[in-house]
Structure 1
Amino acid sequence: MHLLVNSVAASGAALLPQVLEKIFATLVYTPEGQSINNRSRAVKNVRRHAASLMVKIGNKYPLLLLPVFDQIRATVENLSRPDGPAHLSCLEKVTLQEALLLISNHFGDYDLQSNFVGEVLREANTQFLDVVNAAPYQAIPKIYVDITGSNIVFCVNLLLGAVKRCAWPDDPERATRGGFVVSLTESGNPVCRNPAAPHVVPLLPHILSLIKIFNELFTPEAQSLIHDSYKGCLAMQETEKSNLLGLIGHSVSDGGDTQVVQSPLERMQQFLTGLHESCYHMMGSLGPSLGRDLYNIPNLGLAITNSVLSCLHSILSNIPMSDIIIIDNTEHKLVYVRYR
């Protein structure tokens, strides 16, 4: 049995360069006449699946990828360049970075892994703080609004990726040797620190502020200020309605080769819904991921109450679906709940 496992591992390692080459070739696939602004649904799906495959391999076979980590990282950095050949979307960039973060979980060294996580998040942190420190909204060009919105999506989703993917070693001995263990419980179990915590925790106040802004959008005062063209931007998306009605996947033609053109309202709906849900998924993952680094934050409960749980009356009275975080004091964790 041991020989069989070694044989499979050896054959996998031998085929790995070819597999990675195919994945990255698929990731940059762009038919003639299409660009990042007008890709068809089929092309988007192909590229998304290629990026997701890197995450799946990084999750299931990280030790297979660890010896070629530097090569994969260099390829990802090259593809992620703004002037690079791939013209990756924000979510494609995030997905590839998630794959790298999964592999880094097997560095076995807290400082090495934490430094790498810091490098991954550096661009996102800078962009996020630029948005936070920007001047109040005035009459600014639409292209600037698009870039700012894209930056926020990239930052929030990359931060979410770090929260979900970064972890300490499962083996207590490896965790101790790698510098992940900071103390022991009364029963002698190790208490570990997450290498992403030093880079995630400083941004949590801004994430909570963003969630509070989302919640305040449902108040009557905010609703009265929304332009008539965007009055429905907080409503459930048509795709979600179709999912609930079981209409997805039953059409005769899926229109995979069709270049989808969204209206401004649909784009705003997608932007707000995606960003809102990413923030709440992040909050739901913080407890299990960061552990002590989260619960040691002073006045954490008050901060959550004043942001995540703010304006709930307006939210529940205006929409059929809302996302709520509940603090479970019995198990010291945040619980993600979706109401429909």
Structure 2
Amino acid sequence: MVKMCRDHQTLMLPHFEKIYTQVQTLSSDPEQLTQLERVTLSEALILINNGLHDWNRQSALIAEIMQPITEVWLSPHITEMIQSPESFIHNIGLDHPSTAQPNQEDVYNKNRAQIFNCISTSQAVVKRCCWPSDPQVAKACGFISGHLPSGAPIYKNPSTPHILPILPNLFTLARTLNAMWSPECRAKVCPEYTRSFNMTENERNTILGLLGNSTEIPANKPVVEKVQIFLTVIYETTCHLFSDCFQSLGYEFFTADGLSSQLLESIFTNLHHLPDYRLRHIIRVVTKSFVQSCPKECWQSVLVPVMTGLTSYMVPRLNHQWAIILQRAESSEATEEQSDEQETQEVVDDYLIRTVTKEFMELLGNLCWNNRTASGKKEEGGGGELDMETEEAMEQCDSGGGNSGRSEPSTISELGKIILQNERLCESIVTCIYAAMSWPDSGVCMKACRLSWLIVQELTTRPLIPEAVTHLYTSILKGLQVHGEHDTCRAELIYRAMNHYELLREKYPILTEVMLSLPHCTQPALQKFHEKVPASKPSERKKREAFKSFIQDFIGEPMSQKFKRKEVIRDLPAILKPMKPKINVMDSSVGPEDAGLVMLFASEADI
């Protein structure tokens, strides 16, 4: 139904009243529809309603859908329930065994159902409601509330007046869901429900590449598993609701009073307690949409404070987690045999760390890459457009080698320049990008290499202390030690090392000292490189090969190749291969037995 209304809106629009009446009839009977079916039908109505191109009528339908949701969501009962993690744990039944009070379990089910109903319906409304794509139609139908200083129109979403009142409790719920993971709160959870905080079986099987996800009917699942699914779904839906608000509500949402502080105190708080399978939703769903949708006028007031808080936390966390992976790899040979469950958990943890790191690096790419803004729903409303060029550019970092056959931006984006003007945020981003070059993940290393060149070109426009320049350059050399066995990473790192050396050497002579500290790099050879390369202007390939000779002995090699002996066989006698006689099939002297098809295709052994 939703797909039909989305793809064939003009065909469904004449039947809107009939569909609306039927939906109302079905919704009036609680036994007719499940909660998910009600939300789906509401989405279908909103999609058809978008075709009316009438702000008042669209807003009226949203008001009708949201009215019962707002009453429940803003009620004292729900407000008190989500106010603190202790209250939330108690009201959804996590602080006592499921068999202790059988009659009370219905109350907990009702509480969980009310929260899910409010969040899922709100997310459906924000996701589906939109303004017309044609600026002239939007202007004539009341979807424009003003213009930005740049002259771009400010679009108003019909759902905004009905979503803004529920945001305070949404911020509270996000803060509570994060705070639940603190050791103090988890200690109050009944031991029976401890497993409900774990990753769901379907998610775990997906990571491990196992088939056969559970097809058991939800009603037949144990109570603990129901609560586990509820916590997972409510967290993911809350993240998607934030993401849809960023993308759909536009300029009016980003200019709300105190938005940056509310975000930092809700969805971006208590991150140090979250496991990676929860944190990845904040990075991939919430933050990426936030960066891509934030209007230019709100970069300084909203985006910079939020990103400063997030990166200040993420960089130490990633450094710590990759240190654990390296330590685990170094001690794996000395470790005794582990159980299958321990090995499986290591695989899952490793996958999640790599996934979170990759998505965080893509987020930094969205900050630094030049955006190609196209006309669209979000951009016209003062927000950002989902930048597909950035996504494609970052994906190219996983393939291709060196500097051949790739297109990449030559300058940092305007947003990137503003980001780097903030000293604290700049330090976190630069530290993360250059540290990522020595993390044992080739895809992350490639992304870091591409971003480092954009960053360093901007950094050279301001004074840098010699110690900072040394740290940046040695970080690339460390990456060569870690990734020297990978041809693609090795070529990219050598190229970036050469770029950094050429860019920074004259202004910071300390880089020459770093080069001379490498094995077999001498002062005369390096001086010859300084004099010959600018004068002869060789090709990039020759210049890279000349530079590679200085750092060749520093490039890491796998253990299997370190002591490899080259095989040399001297005085090997030549193998005499008998020549196949050539037969002229046109020669009359050749007998019929020698001129047949069998002889033409005979092997040498048969001759």
Q: TM-score range by the shorter chain?
A: 0.7 to 0.9
Alignment of 1:175-190 (within 5 A): 175-190=138-153
Secondary structure of the structure 2 residue equivalent to 1:183: strand
CA distance in 2, matches of 1:60, 1:266: 36
Partner residue of 1:278? 237
Partner residue of 2:17? 70
Question: Amino acid of the residue matched to residue 141 of structure 2?
Answer: G
2:209 pairs with 1:246: yes
Alignment of 1:247-262 (within 5 A): 247-248=210-211, 261-262=220-221
CA distance in 1, matches of 2:11, 2:4: 9
Asked if structure 1 preserves the Cα contact closer than 8 Å seen for 2:79 and 2:169, the reply is no
CA distance in 1, matches of 2:253, 2:29: 34
TM-score for both structures, normalised by structure 2? 0.43
Task: Name structure 1 gaps, 5 residues minimum.
Answer: 1-53
Alignment of 1:1-340 (within 5 A): 54-84=1-31, 86=32, 88-130=33-75, 131-133=77-79, 141-248=104-211, 261-316=220-275, 319-322=276-279, 323-324=281-282, 325-326=286-287, 327-328=290-291, 339=356
Provide the identity percentage: 28
**Higher strand fraction: Structure 1 or Structure 2?**
1
Q: Which structure: larger Rg? A: 2
The alpha-carbon deviation at position 259 of structure 1 amounts to: 7.9
Partner residue of 1:30? none
Asked if structure 2 preserves the Cα contact closer than 8 Å seen for 1:215 and 1:315, the reply is yes
**Higher helix fraction: Structure 1 or Structure 2?**
2
Asked if structure 2 preserves the Cα contact closer than 8 Å seen for 1:121 and 1:199, the reply is yes
Q: Which has the higher contact order (CA 8 A, sep 6+)?
A: 1
CA distance in 2, matches of 1:67, 1:225: 55
Asked if structure 2 preserves the Cα contact closer than 8 Å seen for 1:121 and 1:159, the reply is yes
CA distance in 1, matches of 2:47, 2:66: 14
Task: Deviation per CA, 1:150-180: give whole Å up to 9, x if none.
Answer: 1111110010011110001000111011100
Q: How many residues align?
A: 278
The alpha-carbon deviation at position 223 of structure 1 amounts to: 0.8
The alpha-carbon deviation at position 284 of structure 1 amounts to: 1.3
TM-score for both structures, normalised by structure 1? 0.75
Moved over 4 A (4+): 133-140, 329-335
The alpha-carbon deviation at position 271 of structure 1 amounts to: 0.5
CA distance in 1, matches of 2:30, 2:263: 40
CA distance in 2, matches of 1:220, 1:199: 37
Asked if structure 1 preserves the Cα contact closer than 8 Å seen for 2:50 and 2:130, the reply is yes
Asked if structure 1 preserves the Cα contact closer than 8 Å seen for 2:127 and 2:248, the reply is yes
Secondary structure of the structure 2 residue equivalent to 1:106: helix
CA RMSD of aligned residues (A): 2.6
CA distance in 1, matches of 2:119, 2:133: 27
CA distance in 1, matches of 2:60, 2:251: 20
Task: Name structure 2 gaps, 5 residues minimum.
Answer: 82-86, 92-100, 308-313, 315-354, 358-607
Secondary structure of the structure 2 residue equivalent to 1:182: strand
Question: Does the C-alpha gap of structure 1 residues 330 and 270 become closer, same or farther in structure 2, counting only changes over 3 Å?
Answer: same
Asked if structure 1 preserves the Cα contact closer than 8 Å seen for 2:131 and 2:138, the reply is yes
Question: Does the C-alpha gap of structure 1 residues 101 and 248 become closer, same or farther in structure 2, counting only changes over 3 Å?
Answer: farther
CA distance in 1, matches of 2:108, 2:219: 21
Asked if structure 1 preserves the Cα contact closer than 8 Å seen for 2:144 and 2:155, the reply is yes
Asked if structure 2 preserves the Cα contact closer than 8 Å seen for 1:162 and 1:196, the reply is yes
Question: Amino acid of the residue matched to residue 11 of structure 2?
Answer: L
Secondary structure of the structure 1 residue equivalent to 2:51: coil
Question: Does the C-alpha gap of structure 1 residues 212 and 228 become closer, same or farther in structure 2, counting only changes over 3 Å?
Answer: same
CA distance in 1, matches of 2:9, 2:238: 27
Secondary structure of the structure 1 residue equivalent to 2:74: helix
CA distance in 2, matches of 1:175, 1:196: 15
